[in-house]
Structure 1
Amino acid sequence: MAIEELKESADATVEELEKEGDFAADFLEELLDIADIDGDLNLDVRQGRAYVSVEADGGSLPVLSAPETVQALQELTRLAVQNQTGAFSRLILDIGGSRDTRRRQLEALVDAAVAKLDGGAGQASLPAMSSYERKLVHDIVSERGLVSESYGDGADRHTVISRH
C-alpha cells in the first residue's frame, strides 16, 4: 500500500468513518444471518478509527470471540469496506468483549516481560502481533514507566521492552 493511501485513511473525517462503520455493519449483519447467529451491532468513531462491536445476550458469540477469529473477521470486514469505499480501512472489530479480553492478555504478557527485566534482563521481546495490538502494548508499557520499540517487518513485527 502506498504511503499516500495510509495518510489519507488516517485523515478520514468523522462522517467518512461513520460511513465505514455503516458498511461494516451491513457486511457483518449479512455474515451473522448466514451463520444464524444473533447479535447487536454498535458503531462508534474513536481515535480516528471506526469501531464496530457485536454483542449478544445468548451463548452464540463465544465461538466468534477468539482473538484469531476476531482478527480474521476484522480483516474480511476491512476488505468488504474497502470494496465499498475504494479506500483502505483501519476499522476495529470487537466481538463479545474480545478487545477487553485481548488487552488483559497483553497486560499479562507485559507483566511477564517486566518480571524478566526485574530478574536482570536488559530487554524482553514479545511475540509478533498486529499493529493495533502493538499500539496497545506501547500504551501499557508507557503506563508502567518503561520503554518499548517495535522491530521486524510484516507478520514478524514484534515489540521489545526495556527500562531505558
Structure 2
Amino acid sequence: MVKEAIATGATTEEAYEKACAMLGVDPADAEFEVLETEEKKRFGLFGGRPAKVRAFIRSTPADAAAEYLRNVLSGMGLGDVNIEIREEEAGAELVLTGENIGFIIGHRGETLDSLQYLASLVANHVDESYYRITLDVGNYREKRKETLENLGRKMAARAVKTGRNASLEPMNPYERRIIHTAVQEVEGAKSWSEGEDLARHVVIGPEGGERYVRRDNRRGGNNRGRNGGYNRDNRGGRAPRRDNRDSRPMQNRTAPAAPRVLDDVSTPYGKISKN
C-alpha cells in the first residue's frame, strides 16, 4: 500500500517538505516525484509558478499492523511502547518492548493472541493477500513453545503407556501445531484436533486406538472367589453361614439353658406338687 501527499512551494525542496509534513513522516523516510518545477516571474511581474511535488511512502502489511497496534496501545495507556518489525517468510514478527507491558500478555497469552488477531486483519487488508503477523512480549512465545513441547511429549508417552486418550485444553491453531509436532517425536503416539471454534483442542492417544482394560486387572486386584465373600481362610468364596437371630457363627454359639422346674407351683385351683 502506498500513502502519498501532493504539495506546492516556492522551490522543489519546500514543496517536498510540505508533502512529508502532510504524511507525518521525516523527509528522509519518504520518496518523491516532481510534478512541476518552479518558474520565476518574468521581470518580477508576469508568469511564474510554484513547484509541485508528490511525496509518498510504501506501507508494508507489517507497517500497517504496527501503526494499528500503536494506536490501540496508546488507548490502553501505553504510548511509549517500541515495536520492532522482524520480517519473516510470508509474514513478520512484531516485538513489543517497554515498561510495564507484561499485562498485555493476559491469562495464557489470551490478550496477546487477541491483539495479534486484530493486527493480522489489518495487515491482510493491505495487499488483500495472506500475511502472517506474530506478536511477542518479553520472549513469551519462545517460553510458551517450550512448555507446550514438553507437555505434548509427556502426554504422548502417557497415552502409549496407559493405552488411553487424553484431551488437552482449547488452544489456537499456532499452539495446536506445536503440540502435533511434539507428539510425532514419540513412537506409538498420535494426535488430532476435535471441537469447533474456541473449543477446538488436541487429543493424544495410542496409534492403535484405546486399549480395553479388564476390570480384574485394575489396581488393587480382585481377590474374591467365584461366588463373592470369603472362605474360612479369607481367600475368597462364601463367608461362614450366620444365624439371622445372632451375629455370631453357629458353631460358636452355646446351647440354651434347660428350663427351670419348681418344686411346688401355685395355681388358682390349688398347689401342684412335683411328686
TM-score of the superposed pair, with normalisation by structure 2: 0.46
Contact 1:113 1:125 in 2 (8 A): no
User: What secondary structure is seen at the aligned counterpart in 2 of 1:50?
Assistant: strand
User: What secondary structure is seen at the aligned counterpart in 2 of 1:42?
Assistant: strand
Pick 1 or 2: higher relative contact order, CA cutoff 8 A, min separation 6. Answer: 1
Structure 2 counterpart of 1:33, from 74, 99, 111: 74
How much does 1:24 deviate? 0.9
How much does 1:96 deviate? 2.5
Contact 2:156 2:183 in 1 (8 A): no
Could you list the structure 1 runs, at least 4 aligned residues long, displaced by more than 6 angstroms after superposition: none
Bigger helix fraction: 1
Give 1 or 2 for the bigger CA radius of gyration: 2
Bigger strand fraction: 2
Match of 2:60 in 1: 19
Deviations 1:61-92 (A, max 9, x none): 11112201101111221233344444455322
1:147 aligns with 2:190: yes
Paired letter, 1:52: L
TM-score of the superposed pair, with normalisation by structure 1: 0.71
User: What secondary structure is seen at the aligned counterpart in 1 of 2:84?
Assistant: strand
Structure 2 counterpart of 1:64, from 78, 81, 104: 104
Q: Any unmatched runs of 5+ in structure 1? A: 1-17
Query: Is the alpha carbon distance of 1:115 and 1:91 closer, same or farther for their aligned partners in structure 2, counting shifts above 3 Å?
Result: same
1:159 aligns with 2:202: yes
User: What secondary structure is seen at the aligned counterpart in 1 of 2:123?
Assistant: helix
Query: Is the alpha carbon distance of 1:154 and 1:118 closer, same or farther for their aligned partners in structure 2, counting shifts above 3 Å?
Result: same
Match of 1:103 in 2: 145
Q: Distance in 2 between matches of 1:49 and 1:144?
A: 31
Query: Is the alpha carbon distance of 1:125 and 1:41 closer, same or farther for their aligned partners in structure 2, counting shifts above 3 Å?
Result: same
* Superposed CA RMSD: 2.6
Match of 1:123 in 2: 165
Number of matched residues? 145
Match of 1:52 in 2: 94
Q: Distance in 2 between matches of 1:156 and 1:96?
A: 28
How do residues 55-94 of structure 1 correspond to structure 2 at under 5 angstroms?
A: 55-56=97-98, 58=99, 60-66=100-106, 67-87=109-129, 89-94=131-136
Structure 1 counterpart of 2:84, from 39, 42, 48: 42
Match of 1:4 in 2: none
Structure 2 counterpart of 1:137, from 179, 199, 211: 179
